[in-house]
Amino acid sequence: MKRLAQGITRIIDFFYPPFRKLMSEQLFRYAACGGGNMVLDWVLYFLIYNFVIGHENVIFSFSHLPFSHLFDHLAIYSFEQVITPHIATLCIVFPITLLTGFWLNKYVTFTRSNLHGARQFMRYISVVALNLAINYFGLKLCVEVLGWYPTPSKMAITLLTVAISYLGQKYYSFRVKNSK
């Protein structure tokens, strides 16, 4: 994994010189990694929404889970929740891009952070949780209230959360502790 991170860093750094006067190397790496992860997010969202979920509501039922027979005596056994296709897709794509985003930030962008990896991950999750809330309510607003298409809505909301994410990751999740 270390070699993969070094290879990705070398590729990103190869394209950095023309941008040297516009932004720091760290910001450029963040933009490249975040941009790559964002494209992965959009592609997965499009593919899953259109070809896996198929524009259909998803019915989540506790009774369809493995070992659900163990819970026959509980009231939650009959629990069913209808999830709209755009939110179901978000729930599938989110964990994938959470992990790829953390890995890229930790090993390519914010490599100087001296915080323990578990602490970084918990902080990363808290910043991402804020972005997830913005994504969730943004999708609800754009798709269900404004009537926009889900994929362009997701793209617009993602662009909105980029600044929040960068500042949160730089100054909170991967900050460099003073060594005094």
The pLDDT value given to residue 129: 93
Tens of pLDDT, residues 28-59: 999 999 999 989 998 999 999 999 999 899 88
- Report residue 135 as tokens: 């994504």
Residue 27 has pLDDT above 70, yes or no: yes
Query: Rounded distance, CA 38 to CA 148, Å?
Result: 20
Q: Which of 53, 38, 72 is nearest to 157 (CA)?
A: 38
Please, which residues bridge with residue 80 across strands? Answer: 61
Buried b (16+ CB within 10 A) or exposed e, 124-136: beebbeebbebbe
Q: How many CB atoms lie within 10 A of CB 138?
A: 18
Chain CA centroid to CA 179, Å:
31
Residue 150 has pLDDT above 70, yes or no: yes
Query: Rounded distance, CA 63 to CA 55, Å?
Result: 23
The pLDDT value given to residue 20: 96
Tens of pLDDT, residues 75-93: 555 668 889 998 899 899 9
Tens of pLDDT, residues 110-132: 999 989 999 999 999 999 999 88
